[in-house]
Amino acid sequence: MTPKIIIIGAGFAGLGMAIRLKRAGRDDFLIIERAEDVGGTWRDNHYPGVACDVPSHLYSYSYLPNPDWSRVFSPGGEIQAYIRKCAEDEGILPHVRFGTDMTACRWDDAAAEWVVETSAGEFRAPILITGTGHLADSRMPEVEGLESFTGEAFHSADWNHAADLEGKRIGVVGSGASAIQIIPEMQKRASEMVVFQRSAPYMIPRWDRAFTAGERRLCARDPETIEAMRSEIFWMGEFNFAQRRNIPRFLGEAKALALGHLEAGIADPDLRAKLTPDYEVGCKRLLISNSYYPAMASENVTLEASALKRIEGGTAYGASGEGYELDVLVFATGFEAVRPPFAKRIFGRDGRSLDARWDEGMQACDSIACAGYPNLFIINGPNTGLGHNSVVYIIEAQVDYIMGALDHIEASGAEVIEVTREAEDAYMETLDAMAAGTVWLAGGCKSWYVDDRSGRLTLVWPDFAHSFRDENGVFHPEKYTLAPAPVAAE
């Protein structure tokens, strides 16, 4: 069957879209997945210590609760197993073309459909939905002399499990969400470890624990128990959003919690000073860990409070000029989120790539559609990230929006739907006004939330998560133009 809908990616976003289509009785979709399994970031990230930093009862589909989470914050392997089980149970796997890399998507105006070029051939469909996420493509920094390094070097999202790490001199580059999970694990294995820290993160305790067998049985017997937990976690996150609005009282409470956690974990005043952020709390991602500070205080760990600058053979130099002899370099340096690689492969009505269209930063009307790119919907695209709650909640709102758009297209008898540039610009003006004065823009830090080409907040939704669903969980037909399919020439 020729598909009417092509979905790019089989992570939380792509599968969430597919499940809703399947449940609505639609089998006319195809998922293009470059890897050999579902799972997205949870398939790709399998480094030691990988785990979620959102409680798992919320970091899951609302309509597919899992009573068997082992912990409040489940390890990455459990999340990957959950995603795979969802795909199997909902009958999605037959719709997935695995090992198929999307190389280009081009809008064919004459045929009113997308031509999707892949490593496995060409596919066509009227509707294109991207679900590649923010954390799909790893980012390696440009380091002078990296190619000369004589030891093992790899990114955290491409972990080399064959590398012998026991007793080695290990360098970890970065101090973000992945790094703080990796560093305690590497500290246990290394004879010596150096952490290259460009900027110190704010960190709060991780209120984690294992669920008892009785709690899991209760969740299995009574679905309302899970719903109550989801609600509690969600609204606690919403309460914490006030910090990002730069409200002094809430900033003060968050900073006191984080700095108190630092003081309790680091006794050495010099090390504590290096681990103290020099920007406002919440400006960068607020991290959670109980093991990071004890690891950093260990005798075999050195904190290099500067970025990795250059490498000469087996010696890695920080920007400070200090050099360290190392056997292994682990780059926990994040992902290409501000300029997602998929945007370079999507070409709209005028043949222009989305990346070129976003030359001053990502943007999309209702965080999902761009003028000049008909019948294209972007899940987890511009201004959909959250620093305080579950992105799965955002994904479900965007899926609701797309389902409404598909219903509207069918009801109208049209084939082509395109958001107007006026609606897109008006939406972005609203977001810019919402973002003004937030800690992301006024907190004195440089983060991946903000596009350095324009200074605009392009990754994060600058409001409560529930307001995203209120604003963008329902399709807005008044922002779009509709057109019939072109009449084929005789």
Q: Where are the domains of the chain?
A: 5-137+336-483, 146-202+245-331
**Mean pLDDT value across the chain:** 94
pLDDT at residue 1, rounded to an integer? 63
> Poorest-confidence range of 109-113, 390-394, 449-453?
449-453
The C-alpha atoms of residue 233 and residue 65 are separated, in whole angstroms, by 14
- CA-wise closest residue to 97 among 227, 8, 223: 8
DSSP string over 182-219: HHHHHHHH-SEEEEE-SSPPPEE-----BPPHHHHHHH
Rounded CA gap, 438 and 467, in Å?
A: 16
pLDDT at 207: 93
- The sheet carrying 113-118 orders its strands as 121-125, 113-118, 102-108, 346-347
Residue 482: count of CB within 10 angstroms of its CB: 14
**pLDDT tens, 54-108?**
999 999 999 999 999 999 999 999 999 999 999 999 999 999 999 999 999 999 9
The proportion of the chain whose per-residue pLDDT surpasses 70, expressed as a percent, equals 98
pLDDT tops 80 at residue 408: yes
CA angle (1, 100, 128) in 5-degree steps: 60
C-alpha–C-alpha distance, residues 6 and 131, integer Å: 10
Rounded-to-integer distance, Cα 353 and Cα 346, Å: 5
Q: Residue 336's closest CA among 137, 101, 131, 132?
A: 137
Give 346-405 pLDDT, tens digit per residue: 999 999 999 999 998 999 999 999 999 999 999 999 999 988 899 999 999 999 999 999
Which CATH topology does 146-202+245-331 take? FAD/NAD(P)-binding domain (3.50.50)
461/387 Cα distance (integer angstroms)? 9
- Predicted pLDDT of residue 478: 97
CB-CB contact of 117 with 107 (8 Å): no
Does the pLDDT at position 489 exceed 60? no
Q: Is the pLDDT of residue 490 over 60?
A: no
Predicted confidence (pLDDT) at residue 331 exceeds the cutoff of 60: yes
What pLDDT score does 486 carry?
Answer: 66
**Domain at 5-137+336-483, CATH from 3.40.50.2000, 3.50.50.60, 3.20.20.70, 2.60.40.1930:** 3.50.50.60
| One-character DSSP codes across 215-262 | HHHHHHH-HHHHHHHHHHHHHHHHHHGGGTTT-HHHHHHHHHHHHHHH
> Which residue, among 388, 384, 435, has the nearest Cα to 286 in the 3D structure?
388
Write out pLDDT tens, residues 164-192: 999 999 999 999 999 999 999 999 999 99
The H or E element containing residue 398 is helix 391-412
C-alpha distance from residue 488 to each of 110, 111, 128, 428, 485 (Å):
9, 8, 22, 37, 9
Assess whether pLDDT exceeds 70 at residue 40.
yes
Per-residue pLDDT, averaged over 130-158, amounts to 90
- C-alpha distance from residue 277 to each of 259, 280, 294, 295, 304 (Å): 9, 8, 18, 18, 14
8, containing H or E segment? strand 5-8
Distances (CA, A) of 211 to 68, 153, 208, 228: 9, 37, 9, 16
Percentage with pLDDT > 90 across the chain: 84
Handedness of CA 334, 339, 343, 344 (dihedral sign): negative
State yes or no: pLDDT of 268 exceeds 60. yes
Rounded to 5 degrees, φ, ψ at 249 are -60, -45
Average pLDDT over residues 129-145: 87
Is the per-residue pLDDT at 436 higher than 50?
yes
Residue 129: predicted pLDDT: 98
Cβ contact 418:489 at 8 Å: no
CATH topology match: 5-137+336-483 vs 146-202+245-331 = yes
Lowest mean pLDDT among 31-35, 140-144, 192-196, 310-314: 140-144
Q: Which of 408, 186, 215 is nearest to 301 (CA)?
A: 186
Residue 375's closest CA among 422, 430, 418, 318?
418
Report pLDDT digits (tens) over 190-219.
999 999 999 999 999 999 999 999 999 999
Q: Tell me how far apart the alpha carbons of residues 27 and 45 are, in angstroms, rounded to a whole number.
A: 30
Q: Is the pLDDT of residue 433 over 90?
A: yes
Side chain identity at 337, as an amino acid letter?
Answer: A
Q: Check: CB of residue 311 under 8 Å from CB of residue 144.
A: yes
Could you give the CA distance from residue 41 to residue 258 in angstroms, rounded to a whole number?
Answer: 27
**Rounded-to-integer distance, Cα 257 and Cα 268, Å:** 19
